């Protein structure tokens, strides 16, 4: 089968053997999405080699122990745990110490004709959700995960920094899931407009004047992927406010620890979310993900698709096997 | 009167005019303590000029609007708010945007014969607490403040990194205030012994092997004052654990933000605590602070005392006017 592979420092679309179920499920991929994490892996970070991709929608071909899933349209949570540790026993393998992660850690990913995941990771996609929207379940779940990590009070003032895909999903998810007043801060009128049409306040970065804020923010979500976002966040947070880090920029980041201590700020990392809340938001059409689609490539042109996804300002690039 | 002054880049004990009450209280200082923050200010950080010092015990000489305090032995909370903002109105000026801070921000401090503070900041010291112990109220309150910022569950595994004054106070305070299992990590057997005698587990840094931990820590308090403490903390925290930053090291600190995101760590800054819980711990003799006294100098020898306090391994240096 065809797969988008990263190995020996090289990215290529290649013919490889299709995976065997071996006690897990096999899913024929309908669409997959390119994430910034894919780009970082293809720059050599994270030491991964194999098939890239962790955002997908597909149809189940085999599912040992869960035959009712065969033929169903599904999305899949990306962390596969050991199944035995305390965390896995509690039903949440996201921090299992020996987990594999689809297309990220020790497990071939979704930019392929067929992928393999434990059946327990799969969730059926309601008919109301098109393939083009369902493929956003994983990144939308990651956005929803913020509300799982941080208690966002009704009426709280929340700022999301960055109007890329991640910021647009975080702002919409928080507006839909919480009673907070959410403001998206970005540089691009067209992108800000996507969130504005879903009830999110927006402000251009060059018009954000910390000194003129009516009052500072209770929660700021850093979704710019740039270390400067960290400084900006500290500048607009109230004392004892919460800074949510979503971007996994790699390598050392400089920050002024004394500002965190003196302001008694909480800096909270947030990574993967559960899929169920994201599917509910998609089913109820509470978030606009269609507008986040930049373009679609055939899987065979995956290398070009990755290059396109790396261009500044490009939104989601999809791959179709 | 005599005061230990930092101005024009120079530290000296000098005769200055005694403060006037001007609506606040005047306290004749009995003992004051030198904090690492004093040392940082005297290195030119923070832009403060004036009389240093924010840890003290003294006797009230004047107290407009609170005459019942006159003649009483007191300690004093160090943040003086505007009295009008939302935070001050709620009774907590610690984050008032226009606050002054005793010996740190815009207000002469405690290394002097007499100091001035709002009467509302003063708390009477119970007779059971000697002057030599009462002078630790401020740093002990800062240690207690951790429990105000972070919910520490019964049975939680808590590590405190650093066996200096700050670490010894944090470890003892958390052991006394919470139901956690507290471990102090340090380099000095004698200092670790102080905490061990109060029921805190201790381990030498060179014997701390993250890979051999029975299970990682739920909460780690960084009290080394060294950026390497940050990395060590990330290495021994469980996923979704909490790293408490107590040290106000100045300037940029490098950290690997991706470890915070992937581990979904919460990094929580903690600064000043309320004095009441600290006075209760001292009154009930729940913490050993006497053993933290390194030596005492007359105020006139304040410059030498500061030099002594800056030597590696020296515990609390006290000044007596």
CATH code at position B136: 3.90.180.10
**Average pLDDT in the A297-309 region?**
98
Neighbours of B40 (CB within 10 A): 18
* End-of-domain residue from the set B269, B284, B306: B269
Given an 8 Å threshold on Cβ–Cβ distance, is A260 in contact with B245?
Answer: yes
Taking only the tens place, the pLDDT of each residue in A210-254 is: 666 667 899 999 998 887 888 889 999 999 999 999 876 656 677
Residue B257 with chain A: CB contacts under 8 Å: 227, 230, 245, 247-249, 253, 269
Question: pLDDT of B268-293, one tens digit each?
Answer: 999 999 999 999 999 999 999 999 99
A151 and A205 co-located in one domain: yes
User: Is A1:A112 a contact under the CB 8 Å cutoff?
Assistant: yes
- Chain B CB contacts of A95 below 8 Å: 238-240, 263-264
User: Quick one: average pLDDT of A153-166?
Assistant: 95
Report the gap between the CA of B255 and the closest CA in chain A (Å).
Answer: 5
Q: What whole-number distance in Å separates Cα of residue B205 and Cα of residue A18?
A: 49
ipTM above 0.85, yes or no: yes
Same domain? For B303 and B254 the reply is no
**Contact A53/A111 with Cβ under 8 angstroms?**
yes
Inter-chain residue contact B255 with A253, CB threshold 8 Å: yes
Q: Are residues B295 and B223 in the same domain?
A: no
Mean pLDDT of all residues in A193-203: 94
Structural domain for A215, as ranges: 146-269
* CA–CA gap between residue A175 and residue A232 (Å, rounded): 21
Both A66 and A154 in one domain: the answer is no
Residues paired with residue A62 on neighbouring β-strands, in sequence order: A26
Q: Do B255 and A255 touch (CB under 8 A)?
A: yes
Please report the pLDDT score of residue A214 as a whole number. Answer: 65
Same domain, A224 and A297: no
Does B265 sit within 8 Å of A271, measured CB to CB? no
Chain B residues whose CB is inside 8 A of the A149 CB are 240, 264, 266
| Whether residue A90 is found in the same domain as residue A164 | no
Q: Which residues of B touch A (CB under 8 A)?
A: 87, 94-95, 149, 227, 230, 238-240, 245-258, 260-271
Q: What pLDDT is recorded for position A211?
A: 63
Same domain assignment for residues B227 and B125: no
pTM of the model: 0.91
| Three-class SS state of B310 | coil
**Rounded alpha-carbon distances, angstroms, from residue A170 to A30, A62, A165, A183:** 25, 34, 9, 11
Tokens 């006037």 — which residue? Answer: B20
Q: In chain A, how many domains are there? A: 2
- Stated as kind and residue range, the H or E segment containing B5 is strand B2-7
Position A248 scores a pLDDT of 67
Residues of B with Cβ-Cβ distance to A238 under 8 angstroms = 95
Q: Do A260 and B267 touch (CB under 8 A)?
A: yes
List per-block mean pLDDT (blocks of 10 residues) for chain B, which spans 321 residues: 96 97 96 95 88 98 93 97 91 91 96 97 98 98 96 96 95 97 95 94 86 81 86 91 82 75 93 96 97 97 97 94 97
CB B249 to CB A262 under 8 A? no
Residues A221 and A262 in one domain: yes
- List CB contacts (< 8 A) between A252 and chain B: 254-256
Binary contact (A149, B264; C-beta < 8 A): yes
Task: Give the integer Cα–Cα distance in Å for A256 and A249.
Answer: 17
Compute the average pLDDT of residues A12-17: 97
Task: Say whether both A188 and A68 belong to one domain.
Answer: no
- Partner-chain contact B268 A270, CB within 8 Å: no
Residues A262 and A280 in one domain: no
Last residue of a domain, one of A235, A254, A269: A269
pLDDT at B313: 85
Question: B263 to chain A nearest CA, in Å?
Answer: 7
Q: Which of B267, B272, B273, B274 to mutate to test the interface with A (most CBs of A within 10 A)?
A: B267
pLDDT higher than threshold 80 for residue A271: yes
At A319, the pLDDT band (50, 70, 90 cuts) reads very high
Same domain? For A195 and A281 the reply is: no
Which of B248, B263, B265 shows the shortest C-beta gap to A258?
A: B248
What end-to-end distance do the CA atoms of chain B give, in Å?
10
> Measuring CA to CA, how many Å separate B201 from each of B46, B160, B181, B185, B265?
36, 10, 8, 9, 24
Cβ contact A252–B254 (<8 Å): yes
**Chain A environment of B81 (Cβ under 8 Å):** none
In this structure, are A109 and A161 located in the same domain?
Answer: no
Nearest-Cα distance to chain B for A22, in Å, is: 28
- Tell me what the pLDDT averaged over chain A comes to: 93
CATH of the domain at A180: 3.40.50.720
What pLDDT, on a 0 to 100 scale, did the predictor assign at position B258? Answer: 82
Q: Given B229, B247, B269, which residue is the final one in a domain?
A: B269
Q: Is B263 close to A230, i.e. CB distance below 8 A? A: no
What is the per-residue pLDDT for A98? 92
**What is the average pLDDT across A185-202?**
94
Interface of A with B (CB under 8 A): 87, 94-95, 149, 227, 230, 238-240, 245-258, 260-271
Distance, CA of B160 to CA of B163 (rounded, Å): 8
pLDDT in tens, A105-130: 999 999 999 999 999 999 999 999 99
Q: A57-94, pLDDT tens digit by residue?
A: 999 999 988 999 999 999 999 999 998 998 999 888 99
Quick one: what percent of chain A has pLDDT higher than 70? Answer: 97
């Amino acid at each position: 089968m065809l797969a988008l592979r990263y190995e020996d420092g090289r990215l290529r679309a290649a013919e490889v053997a299709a995976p065997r179920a071996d006690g897990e499920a096999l899913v024929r991929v309908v669409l997959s999405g390119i994430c910034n994490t894919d780009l970082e892996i293809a720059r050599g970070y994270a030491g991964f080699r194999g098939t890239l991709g962790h955002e997908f929608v597909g149809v189940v071909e085999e599912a040992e122990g869960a035959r009712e899933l065969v033929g169903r349209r599904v999305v899949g949570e990306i962390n596969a745990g050991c199944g035995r540790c305390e965390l896995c026993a509690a039903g949440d393998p996201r921090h299992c110490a020996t987990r594999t992660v689809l297309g990220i850690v020790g497990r071939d990913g979704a930019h392929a004709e067929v992928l393999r995941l434990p059946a327990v990771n799969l969730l059926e996609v309601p008919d109301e959700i098109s393939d083009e929207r369902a493929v956003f379940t994983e990144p939308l779940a990651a956005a929803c995960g913020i509300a799982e990590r941080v208690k966002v009070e009704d009426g709280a003032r929340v700022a999301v920094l960055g109007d890329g895909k991640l910021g647009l999903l975080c702002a919409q998810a928080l507006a839909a899931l919480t009673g907070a007043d959410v403001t998206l801060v970005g540089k691009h009128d067209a992108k800000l407009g996507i969130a504005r049409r879903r009830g999110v306040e927006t402000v251009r970065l060059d018009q954000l004047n910390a000194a003129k804020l009516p009052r500072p923010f209770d929660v700021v979500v850093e979704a710019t992927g740039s270390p400067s976002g960290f400084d900006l966040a500290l500048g607009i947070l109230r004392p004892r406010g919460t800074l949510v880090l979503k971007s996994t920029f790699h390598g050392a980041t400089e920050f002024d620890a004394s500002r965190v201590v003196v302001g008694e700020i909480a800096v909270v990392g947030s990574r993967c979310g559960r899929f169920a809340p994201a599917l509910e938001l998609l089913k109820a059409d509470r978030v606009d993900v269609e507008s986040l689609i930049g373009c679609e490539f055939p899987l065979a042109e995956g290398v070009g698709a990755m290059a396109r996804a790396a261009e500044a300002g490009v939104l989601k690039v999809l791959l179709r096997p």
